[in-house]
Chain A
Amino acid sequence: QKEVEQNSGPLSVPEGAIASLNCTYSDRGSQSFFWYRQYSGKSPELIMFIYSNGDKEDGRFTAQLNKASQYVSLLIRDSQPSDSATYLCAARNAGNMLTFGGGTRLMVKP
């Protein structure tokens, strides 16, 4: 069973702090990785994707990928209460299917 693992949280950070969300995956054949944000009762919204080792930055968000360690992370700088949501990590395999982690619930406190 190919798995993507995330800490379910909740991860609580104060407003303005950096939130660090982590994800590990078991399938070494996974080719690219996606971070989705999902507000309660809403559908997943794509935030970022990454497929090369290293960092990828987009505004307040930075995705990090370490294929040797099979580790993906998402950093959110200057966290805002509006960032409070569940963050889903997904790995895409060679068959073009996504395997989702269970999600990490982030709470940003004013």
Chain B
Amino acid sequence: DTEVTQTPKHLVMGMTNKKSLKCEQHMGHRAMYWYKQKAKKPPELMFVYSYEKLSINESVPSRFSPECPNSSLLNLHLHALQPEDSALYLCASSQDPSGGSYNEQFFGPGTRLTVL
């Protein structure tokens, strides 16, 4: 099973709201990623969790707060977002955080976020 699931599929929120995005994988992968993708642009890496610990934060504003409760789950907590944060938020996972020749990343279907 090479499936990464994400909920919700769509989210509309105001600038004062607090919401969370969820991601789940049951492939036994030990690296999980959050990406942000704007229209007609490639995915931009936001955060990386390796063995449930945050290993990379690509200078993401603090209004985005990641959390990895266990090896299968990844959350992204959102607070006081701006309209320019509207985008497709993608979760991905890969088997081995330390690399290796394969270690392909599999993406979830994404959450389409609109900030009003």
Contacts and interface: CB of A to CB of B under 8 A. Distances in A.
A94 B100 CA distance: 9
Interface string B9-30: 0000000000000000000000
Contacts of A45: 107
Contacts of B45: 97-98
A46 B102 contact: no
Given A96-B31, A98-B45, A44 B103 contact: no
Contacts, number: 53
Interface string B77-113: 0000000000010100010111101111111111010
Interface string A72-102: 0000000000000000100010111110111
A98 B105 contact: yes
Contacts of B103: 32, 92, 96
B43 interface: yes
A44 B56 contact: no
B42 interface: yes
Return the 8 tightest CB-CB contacts between A and B, nearest first. Answer: A100-B42, A96-B99, A43-B107, A43-B110, A51-B101, A44-B107, A43-B109, A49-B104
* Most chain B beta carbons < 10 A, residue from A51, A96, A100: A96
Interface string A7-48: 000000000000000000000000110101000011111100
B42 A101 contact: yes
Given A51-B101, A97-B48, A88 B108 contact: no
A95 B100 CA distance: 10
Interface of B: 31, 41-43, 45, 48, 56, 88, 90, 94, 96-99, 101-110, 112
A98 B99 CA distance: 11
B42 A43 contact: no
Majority SS of interface residues in chain B? Answer: loop
A19 to B, nearest CB: 19
B101 A43 contact: no
Contact of B104 (A46, A101, A102): A46
Contact of B99 (A31, A34, A36, A88): A31
